[in-house]
Amino acid sequence: MSELVAACTPNSYPHDDGRVEHGYQLNVFDQDLAVLATVDLPDWESFDHEEAGRHLADAGFSLQSGSGSAGTGGWSPAGLGYMASVVRAEAAAASPSSD
């Protein structure tokens, strides 16, 4: 299975308080950095881990289990935005649980 990464970045440079004026954009990339999905989030003033996960699901992807640290929902800070390892939703549903 190829490595997929989601990146959620602000569309403008954040103010000192972290707010952005032009929202965020969520992109999913394959290992060759080809864009597989793009979700515009123009109303976001700050990054929302849980809402980002829901938008990923709407686009057919899910966070790779076991990625990220507690409280971040799998997202890690990266530059001005956030990144996470993701899988296609059908691949996540088909993979066996590690319980």
Beta bridge partners of 87: 62
pLDDT of residue 98: 44
pLDDT of residue 74: 86
pLDDT tens, 57-75?
Answer: 999 999 997 654 445 568 9
Q: How far apart are CA 7 and CA 55, in angstroms?
A: 12
pLDDT of residue 96: 53
Q: How far apart are CA 76 and CA 90, in angstroms?
A: 23
pLDDT of residue 48: 93
What average pLDDT score do residues 18-30 get? Answer: 95
Per-residue pLDDT band for 99 (boundaries 50, 70, 90) equals very low
pLDDT tens, 35-49?
Answer: 999 999 999 999 999
Prediction pTM value:
0.81
